[in-house]
Structure 1
Amino acid sequence: MLGKVVFVVAGAVLVAAGCSTPPPPPPVPPTVDTPVPGTVEPAGCLDTGVTVSSGPVEAALGHRAIVVTLTNCGAAPRTLTGYPEVRLLDKEKQPMAVQVEHGSSYMAIDPGVAPQTVQPGGTLLSVVSWSNTVTVGSPEAGAYVTVSAAKGEPEQRIVVDTDLGTTGKLTLTAWNSELKH
Structure 2
Amino acid sequence: MIAIRLRSTCGAALVGVLALATSGCGLSAELDREANPERKPTPSETRAAPPPVSASPSPSVSVQPVSGCPSSGLRFAVGPIDGAMGLRAMTLSMTNCGEQPQELNGYPSVSVLDETGTPIPGVRTAEGTDEVPVAPPDSAPEPFTLGPGETARAGLLWRMAAEDGTYLRVAPDKERDFVNVRPEDPLDIGPENILGTTPWAPAS
TM-score surpassing 0.5?
Answer: yes
Per the alignment, residue 13 of structure 1 pairs with none
8 Å contact from structure 2 (residues 151, 203) kept in 1: no
Q: Corresponding residue for 2:78?
A: 54
Q: Give the aligned partner of residue 201 of structure 2.
A: 176
Q: Is the 8 A contact 1:132 1:166 kept in 2?
A: no
Distance 2:30 2:136 in 1: 82
Within the alignment, does 1:5 sit opposite 2:26 as a pair? yes
Question: Pick from 149, 152, 157: which aligns with 1:124?
Answer: 152
CA shift for structure 1 position 56: 2.2
- RMSD of the alignment, in Å? 3.6
Given that residues 64 and 131 in structure 1 are in contact (C-alpha distance below 8 angstroms), is that contact kept between their aligned partners in structure 2? yes
The answer to whether the Cα contact below 8 Å between 1:71 and 1:123 also exists between their aligned partners in 2 is yes
Q: How far is the alpha carbon of 1:165 from its aligned partner? A: 3.9
Higher normalized strand content (fraction of residues): 1
Matching residue within 122, 127, 131 for 1:102: 127
Q: Which residue of 1 aligns with 2:180?
A: 157
Structure 1 unaligned regions, length at least 5: 11-16, 134-138
Displacement after TM superposition at 1:65 (Å): 2.4
Do 2:120 and 2:190's aligned partners in 1 also have CA atoms closer than 8 Å?
Answer: no
Distance in 1, matches of 2:190 and 2:176, equals 30
The one-letter code matched in structure 1 to 2:26 is V
Structure number with greater Rg is 2
Unpaired runs of 5+ residues, structure 2, are: 1-21, 32-41
TM-score of the aligned structures, taking structure 2 as reference length: 0.64
Change (3 A) 1:2 1:85: closer
Runs of 4+ in 1 over 6 A off after TM superposition: 20-27
Count matched residues: 167
Q: Structure 2 CA distance, aligned partners of 1:29 and 1:63?
A: 42
